[in-house]
Amino acid sequence: MRDAEAAVGAAGAQTVSDDPDFRLVARVRAGDQAAYSSLVHKYKGRIFSVIYNLTSNREDANDLAQETFIKAFRSLDRFRGRSQFFTWLYRIAVNTTLSHLRKNRLRHFFNYEDLQEETVNAEWLEAMTSANRSDRPVVLRELQEKLNEALQQLSPKHRTVVVLFEVEGMSHEEIAEVLKVSTGTVRSRLHYAKQQLQSLLQSYVR
């Protein structure tokens, strides 16, 4: 998505009718609920992922992702098309999640999604595992646990920026639009969050 950083700037030149999401939104407004299923299908993975990475809790992520899509469906009449549809949807997801985290501040129960190990192809992983790769699941599992623990030690606002930038691949500008803050604030939060993570994970990262 960050490759689309230039595309964000060019979004102004893009007309509403050119954007497939806007066309789907128009169809939903006209009463075609199947068009909403297309939007859900397109974004459910990313919305679930961002919520899950903020909560580190599968059940919460499921409930909050459902809530996000229901809220978006009910608010679709208020979507004016001033931003991209996914930015608007991310904003609902992030706000719903942050509100949930504020209400459940003392919750310390986390559960993690299974790693789809076959999708992890990285040179560093090859270097860390033995030739026969039998230790690969153990290495990955430990890294996953340590990373999630470290992320949960960040404040929600710092965690949000790190997740949106490093995991979701969003640009500073897109994150600023989702969070309704300046790009300077995004950069500063990201810098601080990464410093914190580097320190928390110093035994695991170079």
- Taking CB under 8 A as the binding criterion, the range among 11-19, 88-96, 175-183, 196-204 that sits at the site for another protein is 196-204
Name the residue among 132, 3, 28 with its Cα closest to residue 78.
28
Residue 52 in the binding site for another protein (CB under 8 A): yes
3-state secondary structure of 75: helix
Does 173 sit near another protein (CB under 8 A)? Answer: no
Encoded one letter per residue, x for contact with another protein by CB under 8 A and - for no contact, window 111-150 reads -xxxxxx-xx-x-xx-xx------x--xxx-xxx-xx---
Tokens for 144, please give them: 């996953």
Q: How far apart are CA 25 and CA 183, in angstroms?
A: 28
- For another protein, how many residues bind (rule: CB under 8 A)? 52
Place of tokens 């806007």: 22
Q: How far is CA 64 from the centre of its chain?
A: 13
Instruction: Give the Cα separation of 110 and 34 in Å (integer).
Output: 35
Report the residue from 20, 73, 133, 184 that binds another protein according to the rule CB under 8 A: 73
What is the Cα–Cα distance from 100 to 157, expressed in whole angstroms? 13
What single-letter amino acid sits at 64?
L
Nearer of residues 36 and 88 to another protein, judged by Cβ: 36
Q: Are 153 and 196 in contact (CB under 8 A)?
A: yes
By CB under 8 A, residue 206 contacts another protein: yes
| By CB under 8 A, residue 35 contacts another protein | no
CA distance 124 to 130: 12
38 near another protein, judged by CB under 8 A: no
Compute φ and ψ for 114, nearest 5 degrees.
-70, 140
Q: Is 88 in the site for another protein (CB under 8 A)?
A: no
Minimum Å distance from CB 13 to another protein? Answer: 31
Does 40 contact another protein by CB under 8 A?
yes
Query: Using CB under 8 A as the criterion, which residues of the chain lie in contact with another protein when the complex forms?
Result: 33, 36-37, 40, 44-45, 48-49, 52-53, 58, 62, 65-66, 69-70, 73-74, 112-117, 119-120, 122, 124-125, 127-128, 135, 138-140, 142-144, 146-147, 162-163, 166-167, 194, 197-198, 201, 203-206
